[in-house]
Amino acid sequence: MKPAMKQNPVAQYFADIWAGIYTTYAGMKITIEYFFAKKVTMRYPEEKPIVPPGHRGLHVYDEAKCTGCRICLRACPVDCIAVDMLGRGKDVMLLQFDVDCARCLFCNLCAEACPTDALHLSEKFNLACGAREDCVLHCVRTKSQSEIDEFKVLLARKDAERKEAQAKKEAERKAREAQQGL
Ligand code: SF4
Ligand code: SF4
């Protein structure tokens, strides 16, 4: 076995000084490069990022356009929309339209399926919430009990009118058939 070479202490001294100078230079070079480079971070939330077009963020729902058809529910692959209503079609009162953002995939299938354009995914990106329950978007206006009762009365009246019109039509048809001797 070859004995280890003993290094000259003076050479070692200057080699250490050179290593110190070189590593300081290398570190400062990187620091200075980043100091003058274009910044990739921002002071959020004081500064807001530019959201690119087509970004799929939080849902925006237009209650006035919604018919309660539930097509969006059927389109959703993770069942994160909950809807409750009185009546249907034009005579509808939405009692609940909730989207659970903790489960949502932001796939946009619900908005694409909506036949009345009542649902969109917006550019709102701030989804931060402290608890799972806080991640649920409650989209409909809360109705008072008197509003609900009034609407039930309206529905009952419209239903009675519809039945009456149907009965009248049926009676007219029967009278026409009797006249024709059928
Ligand atoms: S974006 Fe996708 S996952 Fe989210 S509610 Fe709509 S269909 Fe469901
Ligand atoms: S598909 Fe559109 S209209 Fe139908 S329940 Fe959903 S949001 Fe309302």
Q: What is the mean pLDDT of the chain?
A: 91
Taking residues 92-104, report their average pLDDT: 95
Report d(CA 95, CA 114) in Å as an integer: 18
Which is the closest atom of ligand 2 to the Cα of 83?
5
Of all residues in the chain, what percent carry a pLDDT higher than 90?
74
Among protein residues, the one with the nearest Cα to ligand 2's atom 8 is 66
Residue 130: closest CA among 104, 105, 103, 102 = 102
* Residue 59 confidence (pLDDT): 95
Q: Which residue has the higher pLDDT, 12 or 40?
A: 12
For a pocket test of ligand 1, which of 56, 61, 81 has the largest count of ligand atoms closer than 8 A to its C-beta? Answer: 81
Residues 124-173: pLDDT tens digits? Answer: 988 888 898 899 999 999 999 999 999 999 999 999 999 999 999 999 99
Among protein residues, the one with the nearest Cα to ligand 1's atom 2 is 107
Q: Which ligand is nearest to the CA of 83?
A: 2
Residues 90, 27 contacting (CB under 8 angstroms)? no
Is the pLDDT at 36 greater than 90, yes or no? Answer: yes
Q: Which ligand is nearest to the CA of 81?
A: 1
Query: Does domain 59-142 correspond to CATH entry 1.10.1530.10?
Result: no
In the reported structure, the alpha carbon of residue 106 is separated from the centroid of ligand 1 by a whole-number distance in angstroms of 5
The neighbour count for residue 131, using CB atoms within 10 Å, is 7
Among protein residues, the one with the nearest Cα to ligand 2's atom 4 is 69
* Residue 18 confidence (pLDDT): 96
Give the start-to-end residue ranges of the domains of the chain.
59-142, 144-182
Token pair, residue 77, equals 């692959």
Report d(CA 110, CA 120) in Å as an integer: 8
